Amino acid sequence: MALSALDAADRVEQLIILTERLTELVALEAQAFEQQRPQEAMVHIEETSRLANIYRHESARVRANPAMVAAAPVAQRTRLIRATEAFDSVLARQGRALDAARTVTEGLVKTIANEVAAQRTTG
């Protein structure tokens, strides 16, 4: 699904709204993993997935044709850059939270496997 924009300024504004909402959702997911509540990360998974697909598609379109946003006011394009930087930052935070959750999960699985193996040899 592509954005339907009237002009460059409208496209940039829609991209800002999209990026800010996606940033908000990813931040909520990261927070859920940081607080060891992965089930809470699933609450907005459909919306996050849908918006992420639109974001990927629109980012590729703009990279392929920068003229799509070039005519937008500089201040507005700067807001988009800032929103994108915030999104990149929250993605990095989410990555760290997921790595930490994976490490904990792997440790638990290993501990359980070791306990099962120990019980089999003694029992």
Render pLDDT for 36-63 as a digit per residue (tens, 0 to 9): 888 898 999 999 999 999 999 999 999 9
pLDDT at 45: 92
Q: Measure the CA–CA gap between 66 and 59, rounded to whole angstroms.
A: 10
Q: Between these two residues, 68 and 2, which has the higher pLDDT value?
A: 68
pLDDT at 123 over 90: no
- CA distance to 6, 7, 49, per residue, from 69 (Å): 11, 8, 24
Q: Between these two residues, 4 and 9, which has the higher pLDDT value?
A: 9
Contact status, residue 16 vs residue 83, Cβ threshold 8 Å? yes
Burial class (CB in 10 A: 0-12, 13-18, 19+), 52: middle
pLDDT at 76: 97
pLDDT at 79 over 90: yes
